Structure 1
Amino acid sequence: MTHLYDGKMAAIFDAMYQTFIDYDEEYQFYNNLIKENNCTTILEIGSGTGNLAKRFQGNHQDYIGLDYSLSMIAIAKERNKNCTFIHGDMRQFELEKPVDSILITGRSTSYLITNDDVNSTFDSIYKNLNKDGIVIFDFIDANRFIPFAKENQVIIHEATFEGIKYYRNSNWKTTLSDNFMLEWTAQYYTFKDDEKEIIADDFSTVRVFTLNEIQLFLYLNNFEIIKTIDRKTYAYDTYVIVARKKQKIDS
């Protein structure tokens, strides 16, 4: 798993994404899917700094957040005094009691590098869902993103928050590995008094998926897809999947 969101990077991530993402719209998107499936209890995997948690809590919903980064959780707890956040790994976690719905947000699936990572995650989700519970998650579409990354190896994002202008200079390099992997090098900086000030450098290996891959992973892990949404986001073409837990059939 990545260390991208540890330490000071958690606060930088939080500041930049305040302008990248409309969290009110993001909340409405996920909440509509939750309501469509009559779910009342929610676990968000990749809850980050608690921006969606704030909306769920504000509407008095039964919500739990789970994240791999203690630094992100610290910010989330400060922002949401009455929410429950768990430090954990989506590949292996156990809730005190199962929930109706589990979300994996923010394209956190990108950090499931191996097939074992993917299968372990879906297995943990299956075990922590109520009967007929649903999982909702997004993933970067390999068929569109890999050609884009090859043609645009340097991508600059900028965001202004609380009077500070942040920049992220991303370099993407495709790898010829067993899966559809990319090496992501990012430099974070601001301009102060017309001088470029480097905040941090980061390197991550991430994975993108084809829709067919995801469909097969879900089938093999006893989930039935009930909705596939082609969704544009601020930087990537993604799919959002809604899938229902099925009863396991003994082989």
Structure 2
Amino acid sequence: MANLYDGKMAAIYDAMYQTFVDYDEEYAFYNKLIQENKASSILEIGSGTGNLAKRFDQNNQNYQGLDYSDDMIAIARQRNSNCSFTQGDMRDFKLENPVDAILITGRSTSYLITNNDMNRTFDSLHKNLNDDGVIIFDFIDANRFIPFTKENPIITHEAKYENVNYIRESHWDTNNSLENFMLEWTAQYYTLVDGKKEIIENDFSTVRVFTLNEIQLFLYLNNFDIIKTIDRKTYAYDTFVIVAKKRK
């Protein structure tokens, strides 16, 4: 799994994504799917710094979060004292009690870079769901994203939070020697001071993007039935959101 958001990167991530993502809209989107499936208990995987947790808590929902990064969880706990957060790996976790819905948010599926990672994750989800429970997750669409990275070798995103201007310059190496539509992502993070960029961090991660057919097959083989597929554009990526029900 990636260490992309450990250390001071957790705080940088938190600051930049306050601008990148409209968390009120994000909460409304996921909560609508949760309510459609009559789910009362919710686990969010990739809960990060707790921005969605805050919305679930404000609406008195039975929510808990799981994230791989201790540093992200530390921020989330500080922000959401009423919520439960656990450090854990989506490929192998066990809840005290199963839940009605499991979300994997923020395109966290990108860090499942092997087929074994995928199968282990869906097996863990299946084991931690109530009967007729649902999973809701997004993934980056390989058919659109890979051509986009070929045509745009450097992808720049800017954000302003608490009067600080941030810039992220991303480069996605579509190395054909890598399997499973994996990409090598390098990023430089800057603050903009008096019109000049000042480097604050360099980062690197290997990530994976998927075709819709791949995801459909993974779900079928791991005892899930797809009940909804949503084509959704996010701030930087063309994604699909999948809602799938646990098969007994």
Task: Note whether the superposition's TM-score is higher than 0.5.
Answer: yes
Aligned residues: 247
Q: Which residue of 2 aligns with 1:211?
A: 212
Q: Distance in 1 between matches of 2:175 and 2:43?
A: 33
- Percent identity (aligned): 74
Deviations 1:181-223, CA, capped at 9 Å, x for gaps: 1110000001223332111000000000000000000000000
* 3-state SS of paired residue (2:97): coil
The aligned runs of 1:3-82 (5 Å cut-off) are 3-82=3-82
Q: Which residue of 1 aligns with 2:129?
A: 129
The answer on 1:200 being equivalent to 2:206 is: no
RMSD of aligned Cα (Å): 0.6
2:65 partner letter: G
The aligned runs of 1:1-251 (5 Å cut-off) are 1-176=1-176, 177-247=178-248
Q: Distance in 2 between matches of 1:163 and 1:188?
A: 16
1:117 partner letter: D
TM-score of the superposed pair, with normalisation by structure 1: 0.98
Runs of 4+ displaced beyond 6 Å: none
* 3-state SS of paired residue (1:175): coil
2:12 partner letter: I
Q: Distance in 2 between matches of 1:76 and 1:101?
A: 20
TM-score of the superposed pair, with normalisation by structure 2: 0.99
Unaligned stretches of 5+ residues in structure 1: none
Quote how far apart the aligned CAs of 1:3 are.
1.1
Quote how far apart the aligned CAs of 1:7 are.
0.7
Quote how far apart the aligned CAs of 1:175 are.
1.9
Deviations 1:146-173, CA, capped at 9 Å, x for gaps: 0001110100000000100000000011
Q: Distance in 2 between matches of 1:32 and 1:127?
A: 24
Unaligned stretches of 5+ residues in structure 2: none
